[in-house]
Amino acid sequence: MGIDPGTATTGWGVVDYINNQPKSIAWGNIETAKEDVTPQRLLLIYRALKEIIKTYNPQELAMEAVFFARNAKTAIKVGQAQGVMFMASQEYDKRVIEYSPATIKKILTGNGRAEKTDVQKAVRVVLGASVKSPKHKRTHFDNSADALAVAICHLVKLYGYEVC
């Protein structure tokens, strides 16, 4: 299971490895209301992630590591979200592996500095064209796609699957 952490939108994606090929099982977002205070948002993420882990019972969780760039405040909030994700995973004895954004991009596209759209295209190539936002619905598919990309990255590391 891959996770793209965030306090506003956390993407998640469950991928299995069947017949030497990654297969998407489920994906989605955990969205919190911007008017909620941080502790409320973190509690919602924690509860939702526990339910997802309970439902899909992934062997391991792979998470995009916090990338500290220009905005320290954002990095701290993402770190807080990661903390509750670690807690939820430990309640189910699930190991969590972190991958840097550059590693994920490199594995999926061959370029560690690839654009988000390139990563989304790679996810669709690997998992099939059906992996996309539902028509006529405003969603944050890029968060789900990032989570699926993290899951694919982890499968590559585990099984040596070739993406590009």
Binding-site entries:
4, 64, 136
Residues acting as catalytic residues? 4, 64, 136
Given a contact cutoff of 8 angstroms between Cβ atoms, the answer to whether 79 and 38 are in contact is no
Contact 143, 99 (CB under 8 A): no
Separation of alpha carbons 105 and 111, rounded Å: 6
Numbered residues of the known binding site for Mg(2+): 4, 64, 136
Dist CA 101 CA 104 (whole Å) = 5
- DSSP secondary structure string, 79-137? HHHHHHHHHHHHHTT-EEEEE-HHHHHHHHHS-TT--HHHHHHHHHHHH-TT-SPPTT-
